[in-house]
Amino acid sequence: MREPRLGDDIDDYCVRCKRVMNHSIVSVINQQPAKVRCRTCHNDHDFRHEQPPPPKVDLKKAALFNEVLKKVDPDEAVEVEAMAEADPPAEAAAAPGPMPKAKAKAKAKGRK
């Protein structure tokens, strides 16, 4: 296979389109494409060898979160969900809270 030259077509992962698309070579360093331009969205980016960028999710945080979830007792989780779904106490329901600002403005203008 011959060396890549400026303007040649090449497949690469486009960071804007989020797919492997046709690209044109924009710059070459050491006989390797360095920058490419997507022929669909015309976005210039580094040549990625058809590989998507790594996910932005921190793998350490995800591992710690999964470890915490494993330690949670399933029975406790059900109890917490049941408490959240229960009706609020009668005292809180009976006492009127402050009126939201949007309602107060509408009431002042004579609207519902």
pLDDT in tens, the chain (112 residues): 788 999 999 999 998 999 999 999 999 999 999 999 999 999 999 999 999 887 777 778 888 888 888 887 666 555 545 555 555 555 445 555 555 566 556 666 665 5
Report the C-alpha gap between 52 and 74 in whole angstroms.
37
Domain presence at residue 17: yes
Q: What is the dihedral of CA 41, 44, 50, 53, to 10 degrees?
A: -100
Enclosing domain of residue 23: 9-46
Question: Rounded to the nearest 5 degrees, what angle is found at the Cα of 40, between the Cα atoms of 22 and 4?
Answer: 30
Total number of domains constituting the chain:
1
Domain presence at residue 111: no
Domain presence at residue 35: yes
Domain presence at residue 94: no
Domain presence at residue 29: yes
pLDDT of amino acid 56: 74
pTM, whole model, 2 decimals? 0.50
Domain presence at residue 91: no
Helices then strands, each counted (H, E), the chain: 4, 4
Concatenating the DSSP letter of every residue in 33-50 gives EEEEEETTT--EEE--TT
SS3 content of the chain, % helix, strand, coil (to 5): 35, 25, 40
Domain presence at residue 109: no
Domain presence at residue 24: yes
